Amino acid sequence: MHFTHMRRKILKVKPSIEKMCFENDDYKPITLIVDALGLTISKKGNYIEEKWIRKKKEFVKLHITVDTKSKKVVSFRITKGNVHDTTKFGPLVREAAEKYDIDKVHADKAYDNNRRNFNLLDDINAEPVVIRIRKNASARSK
């Protein structure tokens, strides 16, 4: 399938995430994984872009939270490529906290540079689990 056909199909999709039914959940707290990834939106081939087009490649970012047990998406945001990961951490976790009781939140180093993230997790009584926290990061809330 050609890129143009895929893009047309993607643009027709209207994403929505309703309250999901987790198997055997019994209203147990869920554990979230928060991350972001970049998706290129270029229409040319890599060779043509490298050889003839000197513009910086454009991309969008998908910020996503996933439940570790069910492997289902709990919340997501799509932004421009220059938006930092930590700016969407709060809205993603708040949206998930409205729907579910959250026990732990796993994230990488991109999210440990903002004390507001740790304050938010403290407010919803979730344990932050940051993969390899930086030496100079302040994990203390407030």
pLDDT at 17: 55
Q: pLDDT per residue over 48-80, tens digit each?
A: 666 766 666 678 888 999 998 888 889 998 888
* Res 91 pLDDT > 50: yes
Residue 123 lies in a domain: yes
Give the chain's domain count.
Answer: 1
Residue 19 lies in a domain: no
Domain of residue 92, CATH code: 3.30.420.10
CA 14 to each of CA 9, 19, 73, 77, 135: distance values in angstroms, whole numbers, following the listed order = 10, 16, 15, 13, 42
Residue 20 lies in a domain: no
Residue 53 lies in a domain: yes
Residue 68 lies in a domain: yes
Q: What is the pTM of this model?
A: 0.69
Computed on alpha carbons and rounded to an integer, the radius of gyration of the chain in Å comes to 18
Which domain, by its residues, includes 112? 29-130
Q: pLDDT per residue over 9-19, tens digit each?
A: 666 666 555 55
